[in-house]
Each structure stands twice: as structure tokens, then as C-alpha cells.
């Protein structure tokens, strides 16, 4: 799973991906009232495979991220600052926002293809913590937010329910089930985590180790370290009887009374 990052710092959607009067707007328009040559960054790592200028795209640049995904950035103010063959990372500066080509205002038109088909950029772009989303965009669009839960290992505490992660490939998921997105690639092996809840789902026991963070007990992936039971305080009991001989005893309990046998 790659969490592609929106290519601008201030995210405002001015035109959505999708069909208009039978014509596909194959990308997402990102605009902001005071956009003026803002930085455009690569949404993920990859290689620059194309750049240039056409009358419709204006200055543009294309990044190939892997065998499936490419991203195309259009209407740049000037020629992209990267060159064909360059290797880029998520967040590498590609150029500056402009209004070259078929454009009527400073904005970025970004197109993403997966397996050679256009896809809605909103379906794979994530807003990171340090990015800003415009109010109208928040109201009108559902964006994905990259908000990894950082669940940290702890030390052994006998007062708490804890687990040891034995497996090296145990995935931390957002919920109790494999259909939930994973948050991190893997939990840390040989580390201790507190757990707060155990849920059964899809035939596995899922241990909740943080807010929206679950790991499954698969084979011997986990060792459960239950907390030490607190010794009950006998002095508070209203009733105590020590059997002098083995036998059957009849006990009458009044409403609200509790029978505790040790």
C-alpha cells in the first residue's frame, strides 16, 4: 500500500475528476484563491519519464511511480525543474504552479493513471498532517487522510494486560479484520504492547493495542501476558465459614447477598 501525498501544501479542489456533459475531466484541479507559483511536489517516489509543453497541457511533467501508476502535472508556470530520467521521492519539488496551456487561472491539473486507465486522484491521494485543506473542499469532498497510528512498545507491567509480538510480519490494522487498512507495515518483533480489548473476527482473535490499531493472533504470532489478578480483600466479606468436615451444606441467601467461596 502506497500512501501518495497531495502534491500541494494548501489543498483546494476547484474541479473534480469525472464526467461533465459526457466528457471526462480526467484529473483533479487544485486551486486556491491566492495561488501564485506555489510549489508542486511529487505525490510519491518514482522516475521522471516525460516533460514538455503542449498547447493544452502547458508545461507538464510525468512521473512513473511503479509498473502500475503514473502521475501527470499540468499548467506549470515554467518548465519542470526535474529532468527525464531523474529519480524523485515523495515531496520532491517538480515545479511551480501556473496557468500555461488551456487554463484560465493559476491551478494544478493532476492526472493519475493506474494500469493505463485514468483513476480519480482522490481515491489514492492522502492528506498528510502538515497539509492544509480549504474549508469548501472539506465540506464538499471526502478526502483520505494519512494518519498513521504510532503504537509504541512498552515495558512489562504486571498490572496491565500485555502481549509480546513474536512474529516478524504481523500487520497492525485499523480494525479487527484483514479488510481494514494497515497502518504500518509490521508490528515490532519481540516487543511488548499493552492491549485493551480482544475481538474475534474472521476466525482470529484481534488484540487492540491502540486507538484503531489491532493485531491478530495467528499461529503463535503473540504471547499473551495477562495481568496479575488482584487478591480479593477477604476482610470486606460479610460472610465467612470454614468447613470443619467435608459434606453438603445448605445456605440461605437473602436478596442482594453475595456468596463467595474460596
Q: Pick the piece of the chain touching Zn ion (CB under 5 A) from 45-53, 103-111, 113-121, 203-211.
A: 103-111
Q: Pick the piece of the chain touching Zn ion (CB under 5 A) from 21-29, 76-84, 199-207, 220-228.
A: 21-29
* Interatomic CA distance for residues 189 and 178, integer angstroms: 19
Residue 148 DSSP SS3: coil
The reply on whether position 109 binds Zn ion by CB under 5 A is yes
* Interatomic CA distance for residues 51 and 86, integer angstroms: 11
Cβ closest to Zn ion, residue 29 vs residue 69: 29
Q: How many residues bind Zn ion (CB under 5 A)?
A: 2
The reply on whether position 75 binds Zn ion by CB under 5 A is no
DSSP for residue 136: H
Q: Pick the piece of the chain touching Zn ion (CB under 5 A) from 28-36, 141-149, 157-165, 173-181.
A: 28-36
Residue 135 DSSP SS3: helix
Cβ 27 to Zn ion, closest distance in Å?
Answer: 5
Length of the chain in residues, anyone? 262
Cβ 128 to Zn ion, closest distance in Å?
Answer: 23
Do the beta carbons of residue 200 and residue 215 sit within 8 Å?
Answer: no
Which one among 29, 69, 86, 111 touches Zn ion, defined by CB under 5 A? 29
Long-range contacts made by residues 99-104, C-beta under 8 angstroms, separation at least 24? 99/58, 99/75, 100/53, 100/58, 100/59, 100/75, 100/76, 101/53, 101/54, 101/55, 101/56, 101/57, 101/58, 101/59, 101/60, 101/74, 101/75, 102/55, 102/56, 102/57, 102/58, 103/58, 103/74, 103/75
Q: Pick the piece of the chain touching Zn ion (CB under 5 A) from 16-24, 88-96, 104-112, 235-243.
A: 104-112
The reply on whether position 72 binds Zn ion by CB under 5 A is no
Cβ closest to Zn ion, residue 24 vs residue 154: 24
Cβ closest to Zn ion, residue 29 vs residue 86: 29
Q: Rounded to an integer, what is the distance from CA 170 to the centroid of its chain?
A: 16
Q: Which helix (H) or strand (E) holds 204?
A: strand 204-210
Cβ closest to Zn ion, residue 69 vs residue 111: 111
Cβ 15 to Zn ion, closest distance in Å?
Answer: 5
Cβ closest to Zn ion, residue 6 vs residue 207: 6
For the record, the C-alpha cell of 182 comes out as 494497515
Q: CB-based contacts of 245: which residues, under 8 Å, 6+ apart?
A: none
- Report the interface residues with Zn ion, using CB under 5 A: 29, 109
Amino acid at each position: 500500500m502506497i500512501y501518495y501525498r497531495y502534491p500541494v501544501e494548501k489543498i483546494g479542489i476547484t474541479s473534480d475528476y469525472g464526467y461533465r456533459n459526457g466528457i471526462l475531466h480526467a484529473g483533479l484541479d487544485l486551486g486556491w484563491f491566492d495561488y501564485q507559483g506555489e510549489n508542486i511536489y511529487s505525490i510519491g517516489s518514482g522516475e521522471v519519464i516525460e516533460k514538455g509543453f503542449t498547447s493544452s497541457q502547458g508545461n507538464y511533467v510525468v512521473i512513473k511511480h511503479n509498473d502500475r501508476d503514473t502521475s501527470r502535472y499540468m499548467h506549470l508556470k515554467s518548465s519542470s525543474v526535474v529532468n527525464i530520467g531523474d529519480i524523485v521521492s515523495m515531496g520532491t519539488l517538480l515545479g511551480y504552479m501556473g496557468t500555461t496551456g488551456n487554463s484560465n487561472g493559476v491551478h494544478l491539473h493532476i492526472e493519475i493513471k493506474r494500469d493505463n486507465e485514468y483513476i480519480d486522484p482522490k481515491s489514492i491521494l492522502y492528506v498528510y498532517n502538515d497539509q492544509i485543506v480549504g474549508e469548501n473542499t472539506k465540506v464538499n469532498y471526502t478526502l483520505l487522510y494519512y494518519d498513521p497510528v504510532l503504537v509504541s512498545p512498552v515495558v512489562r507491567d504486571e498490572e496491565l494486560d500485555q502481549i509480546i509480538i513474536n512474529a516478524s510480519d504481523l500487520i497492525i490494522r485499523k480494525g479487527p479484520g484483514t479488510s481494514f487498512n494497515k497502518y504500518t507495515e509490521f508490528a515490532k518483533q519481540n516487543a511488548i504492547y499493552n492491549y485493551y480489548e480482544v475481538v474475534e473476527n474472521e476466525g482470529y482473535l484481534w488484540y487492540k493495542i491502540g486507538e484503531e490499531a489491532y493485531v491478530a493472533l495467528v499461529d503463535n504470532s503473540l504471547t499473551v501476558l495477562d495481568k496479575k489478578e488482584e487478591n480479593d480483600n477477604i476482610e470486606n466479606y460479610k460472610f465467612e465459614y470454614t468447613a470443619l468436615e467435608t459434606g453438603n451444606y445448605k445456605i440461605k441467601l437473602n436478596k442482594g447477598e453475595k456468596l463467595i467461596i474460596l
